[in-house]
């Protein structure tokens, strides 16, 4: 059974989706690869109290690591990439090539990029922490401006907490 709610954030509304009470989606407005609204299930904020609390703490600058149970639905390769994303420390970045090498396949940077772009739980699974080989920003389902703002926030260059 799927349920969803929408919460406010410094990056605009975030749609949280849960299946059987476990977070399986976090989508920004106008996000690339955002599933159709009709797949989100009934509107019900109850399953999202902990997720909303942790997101608020993150945006306040008080939470560095999310401890939410997650349901990451995708191919075996995608899930492996998404688990690797969760290992990137707060405020740090990795290149697609570094992630591919960490997965034991240095030639798979393009496949890593494609899997990264399909991440269903943005921010919590920090796909925004992945950059191009040259150190520049490349693709982000939520838009490059949001990616830059998230990175600046985590690096402490955004000024103050966002919430």
Active site residues: 127
Q: What are phi and psi of 147, to 5 degrees?
A: -60, -50
Question: What DSSP string describes 23-88?
Answer: EEEEEETT-TTPPPGGGS-EE-SGGGHHHHHHHHHHHTT--SS----B---S-HHHHHHHHHHTTS
| 94-95 and 130-131 strand pairing | parallel
Q: What six digits make up the tokens of 51?
A: 């997720």
Q: Which residue's structure tokens are 């997101």?
A: 55
Distance of CA 64 to the CA centre of its chain: 13
Q: Which residue's structure tokens are 């904020």?
A: 45
Q: What six digits make up the tokens of 43?
A: 């509107």
């Amino acid at each position: 059974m799927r349920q969803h709610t929408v919460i406010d954030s410094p990056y605009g509304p975030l749609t949280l989706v849960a299946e059987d009470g476990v977070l399986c989606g976090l989508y920004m407005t106008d996000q690339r690869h955002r599933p159709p609204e009709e797949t989100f299930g009934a509107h019900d904020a109850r399953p999202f109290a902990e997720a909303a609390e942790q997101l608020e703490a993150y945006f306040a600058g008080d939470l560095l690591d999310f401890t939410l149970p997650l349901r990451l639905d995708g191919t075996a390769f995608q899930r492996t990439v998404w688990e690797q994303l969760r290992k990137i420390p707060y405020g740090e970045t990795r290149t697609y090539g570094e992630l591919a090498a960490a997965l034991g396949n240095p030639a798979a940077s393009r496949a890593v990029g494609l899997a990264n772009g399909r991440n269903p739980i943005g921010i919590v699974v920090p796909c925004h922490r992945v950059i191009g080989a040259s150190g520049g920003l490349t693709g982000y389902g939520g838009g490059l401006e949001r990616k830059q703002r998230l990175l600046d926030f985590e690096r402490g260059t955004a000024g103050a907490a966002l919430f």
